[in-house]
Structure 1
Amino acid sequence: MTGKTLRLDTVRSWLLTDTPTSPFHAAAGRTYLISREFLKNHLAVLGLLIILTLITVALFAPLLAPFDPVQTNLTNRLMEPSAVHWMGTDEVGRDILSRIIWGSRLTLYIVGLVAIIAAPVGILIGTVSGYFGGIIDTVLMRITDIFLAFPKLILALAFVAALGPGIENAVIAIAITSWPPYARIARGETITLRNSDFIKAVRLQGAGPVRIITKHIVPLCMSSLIVRVTLDMAGIIMTAAGLGFLGLGAQPPSPEWGAMTASGRAYILDHWWLITMPGMAIFLVSLAFNLLGDGLREVLDPRSEK
């Protein structure tokens, strides 16, 4: 056995010990077990690789994009995919590959902001509703039911129409329509936990509702919520693309994928690449988030079948 193999076995045995010596040791062991189970799901790993590629492309867009994404050149309009323009050009001569590369930044911007806004709101409403119950639970859940009663895209359209078109207003509208499922999950988890023995023990020690919710209940809800947020990313991307397609999202000349498909629909019969290329980008990223979410559900959700 080589020295490198011996060191790896030593680290593995330290991570998998039944008696961790510190919180860091316990967290490292859990992370190792989750990573090992996750890597067994090849489709989930593929989804993660696609998402990491998207992040890399977004970070290095100025270096990777061969042309300016908004500069028009009518002499090059509607050119087929070639060695110069790998994905062709659009109706005003802009390089489609460059616009898709820069559009990845807008996609991550929308997905990130919606997750940052919607998930905490849903967690707060769900945990408060589930912990206190009674009239508070009734009022908060009826408000949640009102939002769930409408299709997400229709409700987002209504909010964007009221706020006005634009990428920021689209993010706000999507976030407003995305929090109810998180609230439902957090409420269900909280109801299960609020009468458990360890919560009663913490309550007897003098901990108040705020401390119990933030320090004990919310951390136990996070695994289910992380899975749901990851699975919702595909829906968020589709909603943002739908708003862009209808002209209510990012405004021209921003290289937003939904807006690109909208501008290319008039040429779909003769110039297929105008709508196919951004459509494929939307499809691949949405598929990647779904694959990643399914993989996370298998390793994070204790109720899933192994």
Structure 2
Amino acid sequence: MTMATQPRAAGLRGWLMDPSPASTWQARAQRGYLGWVGFRSNPIAMAGFVIVAALLLAAAFAPWITATDGLTPNLGARLLPPSAEHWLGTDQLGRDIFDRIVWGSRITLYIVILVSIIVAPIGLAVGTIAGYAGGWVDAVLMRIVDIFLAFPRLILALAFVAALGAGIENAVLAIALTTWSPYARIARAEVLTIRKSDFIVAAEAQGASTFRIIRRHVVPLCLASVIVRLTLDMAGIILTAAGLGFLGLGAQPPLPEWGAMISTGRQFLLDQWWVPTAPGAAIFLVSLGFCLLGDGLRDVLDPKSASA
């Protein structure tokens, strides 16, 4: 009895593992399930997934897992060391550092999500248009990309924030303006490898417009590489945001932004080490989580790079 004639297994897993999918939706679900199985078998990737999931849960349930809002001073509890009552101690104004880190996770996710929403579409659009059009369009767009790539990200972000003014929204815009260019390079490289493929030529022969070819055929093939790069870049986005906050150009006090917390607590590093160390450890842990998650997604979404 061949595999095609064997009875189909019952249940959701059987539907996902069916060797003969009955619809496009089922085929896509099967591909996603197999990707998850491969991702789950990678312990390093799962460690990153757990860290990022913990960040998301902390941000979502902050009102229920904290005792304070992280903003109100309590001068009677200044600079208390870590204890059962204050897990990570208190800062110079008596605010619970654990509570501030949990509330600060919302600011971190806010920055990461907004930057991602801005840079991925811009980079993908510029890269796909440049790679597919070629000629002078490619030359002009890539020279613009080269200008942004020529400057260190933090230095360029500082210049933009200095021009726009301090604040979390301006910091997001500055980070986005300094981050989009690598995505254009990646998208262009992907397009150059597929623009002469048979299915692209066939779509052109059928009279499909350039916009339709890019939207329906080119962009979906570039998404995997862009998503992987975006996940890996989230650590850099967090560090850049923390750097701006440390310099007083990002989120402004009393908001519990992790970089700003390090800046205000650095004077207590020798005697009350927990004040700057706790937010620094949070930045390190979350950045590490995104890096590990990005490595796992790369193995799943781009098998060629995993086997290389």
* TM category, shorter: over 0.9
1:141-194 Cα deviation digits (max 9, x unpaired): 000000000010110010001000000000000001110110001001111111
**2:9–2:18 contact (8 Å) kept in structure 1:** no
Q: How many residues align?
A: 301
How far apart in 1 are the matches of 2:252 and 2:238? Answer: 16
The amino acid across from 2:178 in the alignment is T
The amino acid across from 1:166 in the alignment is G
**2:70–2:99 contact (8 Å) kept in structure 1:** yes
The residue number in structure 1 matching 2:4 is none
**2:71–2:255 contact (8 Å) kept in structure 1:** yes
The residue number in structure 2 matching 1:85 is 86
Query: Is 2:122 aligned against 1:121?
Result: yes
**2:108–2:257 contact (8 Å) kept in structure 1:** yes
How far apart in 2 are the matches of 1:266 and 1:10? Answer: 60
**2:82–2:88 contact (8 Å) kept in structure 1:** yes
Query: Is 2:215 aligned against 1:214?
Result: yes
How far apart in 1 are the matches of 2:65 and 2:12? Answer: 39
How far apart in 1 are the matches of 2:62 and 2:20? Answer: 47
Which sections of structure 2, spanning at least 5 residues, go unmatched?
A: 1-6
SS at match of 2:166: coil
1:243-290 Cα deviation digits (max 9, x unpaired): 000000000000000000001111101010001100110011000000
The residue number in structure 1 matching 2:3 is none
How far apart in 1 are the matches of 2:58 and 2:12? Answer: 34
1:199-278 alignment, distance < 5 Å: 199-278=200-279
The residue number in structure 2 matching 1:161 is 162
**2:104–2:256 contact (8 Å) kept in structure 1:** yes
How far apart in 1 are the matches of 2:191 and 2:303? Answer: 16
**2:124–2:184 contact (8 Å) kept in structure 1:** yes
The residue number in structure 2 matching 1:184 is 185
How far apart in 1 are the matches of 2:225 and 2:59? Answer: 28
Query: Is 2:138 aligned against 1:137?
Result: yes
Kindly state the Cα deviation for residue 13 of structure 1 after the two structures are TM-superposed.
Answer: 4.6
- Which stretch has the larger CA shift, 99-108 or 62-71? 62-71
1:42-86 Cα deviation digits (max 9, x unpaired): 111111111111111101111111123111121211111112111
Kindly state the Cα deviation for residue 12 of structure 1 after the two structures are TM-superposed.
Answer: 4.0
The amino acid across from 1:123 in the alignment is L
The amino acid across from 1:259 in the alignment is A
Q: CA RMSD in A?
A: 1.4
How far apart in 2 are the matches of 1:271 and 1:288? Answer: 27
**2:73–2:93 contact (8 Å) kept in structure 1:** yes
The residue number in structure 1 matching 2:300 is 299
How far apart in 1 are the matches of 2:246 and 2:306? Answer: 39
How far apart in 2 are the matches of 1:75 and 1:22? Answer: 65
1:5-34 Cα deviation digits (max 9, x unpaired): x99776445433443221111101101110
TM-score, normalization: structure 1?
0.95
How far apart in 2 are the matches of 1:265 and 1:199? Answer: 57
The amino acid across from 1:300 in the alignment is L
**2:171–2:249 contact (8 Å) kept in structure 1:** yes
How far apart in 2 are the matches of 1:199 and 1:102? Answer: 48
SS at match of 2:233: helix
1:122-156 Cα deviation digits (max 9, x unpaired): 00000000000011000000000000000101100
How far apart in 2 are the matches of 1:46 and 1:64? Answer: 22
TM-score, normalization: structure 2?
0.95
1:284-295 alignment, distance < 5 Å: 284-295=285-296
1:102-113 alignment, distance < 5 Å: 102-113=103-114
How far apart in 2 are the matches of 1:82 and 1:40? Answer: 37
Which sections of structure 1, spanning at least 5 residues, go unmatched?
A: 1-5
Kindly state the Cα deviation for residue 305 of structure 1 after the two structures are TM-superposed.
Answer: 3.0
The amino acid across from 2:72 in the alignment is Q
How far apart in 2 are the matches of 1:7 and 1:197? Answer: 35
- Which stretch has the larger CA shift, 76-85 or 157-166? 76-85
The residue number in structure 1 matching 2:281 is 280
How far apart in 2 are the matches of 1:284 and 1:7? Answer: 44
How far apart in 2 are the matches of 1:247 and 1:78? Answer: 22
